Amino acid sequence: MKKNTSIRRQFNIVLISLYLLSLLITLPLVYYTASKEVYDSANKELSLLVDMVQSIRTYIRKDVRPTLLEKNIILPPAVSSTVATRHVAGHFKKLQPSYYIKTASDNPLNSDNLPLPLEQKILDIFRADRSKKVVDIEGLIKGQRYLVSSRPSVSKKSCNLCHNSPDTAPKAIVDGYGKSSGYGYEIGKVVGVSVVGVPLENVSTVAVKRGLLLVGLLTLLFTITLIIVNLLVKKKILNPLESVSESAQAISRGSIDQAIKINSDDEIGQLARSVELLRRSLKKVMERL
């Protein structure tokens, strides 16, 4: 019985080892694929959002502002791409609250556009390296992790219409935003950044969810396999071996009349037939004596 238990245990140890090895191999792969999928998805969404924001700014700058300025119409949401983007972003956020769109400046007309720490960091990067046209970075915005793409806002001659000084700015601008901030822009300087962000789902959370699903599936698979293998081992190996062992013990005690009947063509069947031949030979010898 110890032999039988040992054989079964060896099969179980092999299967359990394979189960653990499968987990060790697949769980890191799950984390890698989850991470890649999260970032690929975020990059795809970010690219679409960036194109949308740039299209809005281009539309205001090229299609709306020149016509209105020719008619001396100063309406901030129509002549300022920054103001237009802020209004569009406000409406967009009501529909898609998890996304982030903002034009940030450390010298804004509207105090709502003051930069958050990550935006100030991006501003400093653009100012330190004027050759940069785009900064893609991952960081926290109001406690949420985002994948962010930013482009610099460089002061142009047309910006001085509103941003040169309170004395020369249109009355609508001064009345709307006051005189304390948003003036003194130097042409060619980085005065702000256009920031677009998409939320990054926690990679660890995604990996844990998928890891638990994988562990559950592997556990179910190996449990079924373990049960089937144990049943097969018992039926095909342990029970026949017990029968041959009992017959051999009976022969050793002198009981040679009981035939061994195991009908199989495998190694255990060959062993059974060999023991049966031994029994018959002993029986003939005993009959002669």
User: Mind spelling out the 3-state secondary structure of 205-228?
Assistant: HHHHHHHHHHHHHHHHHHHHHHHH
List, in order, residues 6 or more apart from 180 with CB less than 8 Å away: none
CA dihedral for 202, 204, 205, 209, sign (positive or negative): positive
CB 123 within 8 A of CB 106: yes
Number of C-beta neighbours around residue 289 at 10 A: 5
H or E segment to which residue 83 belongs? helix 81-95
Cα-to-chain-centroid distance, residue 107: 38
> What is the three-class DSSP state of 134?
coil
Q: State residue 183's pLDDT score.
A: 92
Q: In this predicted structure, what is the pLDDT of residue 202?
A: 63
Q: Which residue type sits at 18?
A: L
Rounded CA-CA distance 150/129 in Å is 14
**Residue 289's pLDDT is what?**
64
Which single residue is written with the structure tokens 């690219």?
47
> Which domains occur in the chain, in start order?
74-201 (3.30.450), 206-288 (1.10.8.500)
Q: How many CB atoms lie within 10 A of CB 130?
A: 12
Question: Sign of the C-alpha dihedral, residues 168, 172, 178, 180?
Answer: negative
Task: Give me the pLDDT at residue 1, please.
Answer: 42
Which residues of the chain, if any, have pLDDT below 50?
A: 1-4
- In the chain, beta strands by DSSP E: 100-104, 135-141, 144-154, 190-199
Is the Cα torsion angle 10, 11, 16, 18 positive or negative in sign? positive
Backbone angles phi, psi at 189, to 5 degrees: -95, 150
Instruction: For 246-260, write each residue's pLDDT tens digit.
Output: 777 877 777 776 777
Strands 135-141 and 144-154, how do they pair?
antiparallel
What is the predicted pLDDT for the residue at 121? Answer: 95
CA distances from 152 to 85, 130, 189, 198, 228 (A): 14, 9, 10, 18, 65
Its pTM surpasses 0.75: no
Q: Among positive and negative, which fits the CA dihedral 249, 251, 254, 260?
A: positive
pLDDT of residue 203: 64
